[in-house]
Amino acid sequence: MVKKVGLIVGVFALSIGLMACNGQEQEEVEKNIDGEASGEIPSIEEIIDINNLPDPVATVNGESIDKETYVMVLEQQMMTMAQYGISLEGEEGKQMISLIEEQTIEQLINEQLLQQAATEKEIEVSEEEIDEELAFIVAQFSSEEALMEALEEGGSSMDELREEIEHYVRQQKYVEEETEAINVTEEEIQARYEEEKQYYTEDELPTFEELQSNIEQRLIAEKEQEQLEVLFEKLRDEGDITVHI
């Protein structure tokens, strides 16, 4: 079963979700909708019919993804949409909600597949590796005590967080073993730069040198995503997946 703390192949998502629980973050979200404060954001219960959701929402190779995890991640996805000023009302809002629901269940299934594959391969994770990732998360808070308070508010603990970090590191090491190192040539960067010229006026167009690093990072991210999609497709073809929604 996907644990309550686990959030879509990335422990950092946990810290973002926890910070979103405090009043300051809530106020910022409300101000970002349509560029001004707009009152309280509708609760997840007002957007989808939680009571009629099956539990579990999916089964992956005999392991369940429970409704609580699905709803929690779904709520955070919708909060992110609100932060970017994307309305979830009206016909377009319904389409967006449907897309978020579909993406959320797919992401949770992918994470479950990845965790199962990494565990089956018996990839080891050291305490030092866990400490390194934990330090990164702590750095997003004012102190370790602030993180612990946020964890408690979210119904979790430091031990559970360390366990999720272990899962995350194991998954990342598995991905590294199953994918190839990414290389981006200057020719590829130059070609992308030429493509993106159309989005600038002549006066605003940055030089190639100014955009080179940014374009390189985006190309790397695109190639990494392509490899991940191939890996997930392989795991899905080999797995036994049932979606109950």
The radius of gyration of the chain from alpha carbons, rounded to an integer in Å, stands at 20
Residue 65: φ, ψ to 5°: -105, 110
Number of Cβ within 10 Å of residue 118's Cβ equals 22
**What average pLDDT does the chain have?**
83
pLDDT at residue 42 in the model: 65
The CATH architecture annotation of domain 12-178 reads Orthogonal Bundle (1.10)
Residue 25: pLDDT band (50, 70, 90) is very low
* Span 105-126, average pLDDT: 94
Dig out the tokens for 202 from the structure.
């002549």
pTM, entire model: 0.74
Is the pLDDT at 21 greater than 50? The verdict is: no
Q: Is the pLDDT of residue 40 over 80?
A: no
Summarised one tens digit per residue, pLDDT across range 185-194 is: 999 999 999 9
Cα separation of 167 and 151, whole Å? 18
Q: What is the model's pLDDT at position 34?
A: 42
Asked if 41 contacts 33 with a C-beta cutoff of 8 angstroms, the reply is yes
Could you give phi then psi for residue 211, rounded to 5 degrees? -100, -10
For the chain, the structural domain boundaries read 12-178, 186-239
Residue pLDDT, tens place only, 183-221: 999 999 999 999 999 999 888 999 999 999 999 999 999
